[in-house]
A and B are shown apart, each in its own frame.
Chain A
Amino acid sequence: EAGVTQFPSHSVIEKGQTVTLRCDPISGHDNLYWYRRVMGKEIKFLLHFVKESKQDESGMPNNRFLAERTGGTYSTLKVQPAELEDSGVYFCASSQVRGALNTEAFFGQGTRLTVV
């Protein structure tokens, strides 16, 4: 079974440009999460989808970030326009919903975004 996959693995863009990151969760996983790690700091939660609905977007830094999950399958995270401080590694994770139990989250390898 394929794990969580993220595209691209690396992206270098200029300040002011737009970048779209994609995440394909494990098939059947209704929960999808985005996290970000700015260089040398902790990994921070951005948002959480349950199927196509945003369950919690409290971690989104500002309105330059837009996450979508149309159809409840893959998700995209768009940064427009990108700023230097957006550089970091963006992680996606997915997990199953099993009643009241919180099941393990499986992570992708991350997308390293560099804004120059």
Chain B
Amino acid sequence: AQTVTQSQPEMSVQEAETVTLSCTYDTSESDYYLFWYKQPPSRQMILVIRQEAYKQQNATENRFSVNFQKAAKSFSLKISDSQLGDAAMYFCAYRSGIQGAQKLVFGQGTRLTINP
């Protein structure tokens, strides 16, 4: 079975600084997807960024980028120029690449605080 580990329960960063959230996973599959989700307080969880395992290039979405190290099974999220609105719980998630596989396997989450 696949597992996802987020070793940082809480992180904080000064506004406008850069922060990196860690995520490692374990799988025997070669084809899969990795995700970072963000859940602001009392609001819906939204997808921040997605990475296909077969792609060597790291995904980027504006201020959000990932460092995907397939051999090390590591998938960290970097947030540049942190903003107050980035404060949230961040969840790393894995989904198998097997056709029809739908369920997500999540990590424990990292609570990110942005200090003004």
B43 to chain A: closest residue by CB: A109
Asked whether, in the complex, the Cβ of B102 is within 8 Å of the Cβ of A4, the reply is no
Q: Which of A42-50, A64-72, A80-88 contacts B (4 or more CB under 8 A)?
A: A42-50
Asked whether, in the complex, the Cβ of B102 is within 8 Å of the Cβ of A31, the reply is yes
Q: Closest CB of chain A to B59's CB: distance in Å?
A: 13
A1-36, CB < 8 A from B: 3-4, 9, 31, 33, 35
* Residues of B contacting A3 in the complex (Cβ-Cβ under 8 angstroms): 44
Q: A42-B108, A42-B109 are in contact. Are A109 and B42 (CB under 8 A)?
A: yes
* Residues of A contacting B46 in the complex (Cβ-Cβ under 8 angstroms): 107
For B34-59 the 0/1 string (1 means CB < 8 A from A) is 00010100111111001000000000
Interface size class on chain A is: 20 to 34
Interface size class on chain B is: 20 to 34
* Residues of B contacting A43 in the complex (Cβ-Cβ under 8 angstroms): 91, 93, 104, 106, 109
For A76-116 the 0/1 string (1 means CB < 8 A from B) is 00000000000000010001000010101111111000000
Asked whether, in the complex, the Cβ of A45 is within 8 Å of the Cβ of B101, the reply is no
* Residues of A contacting B50 in the complex (Cβ-Cβ under 8 angstroms): 104
For B71-93 the 0/1 string (1 means CB < 8 A from A) is 00000000000000000000101
| 16 pairs from A and B in contact (CB 8 Å cutoff) | A3-B44, A4-B44, A33-B104, A35-B106, A40-B9, A42-B107, A43-B91, A43-B93, A43-B104, A43-B109, A48-B102, A102-B95, A104-B50, A105-B102, A107-B39, A109-B44
Chain B positions within 8 Å of A, measured between CB atoms, are 4, 9, 33, 37, 39, 42-47, 50, 91, 93, 95, 99, 101-109
Chain A positions within 8 Å of B, measured between CB atoms, are 3-4, 9, 31, 33, 35, 37, 40-45, 48, 55-56, 59, 91, 95, 100, 102, 104-110
In order of increasing CB-CB distance, the 4 nearest A-B pairs are A43-B106, A107-B45, A45-B103, A42-B108
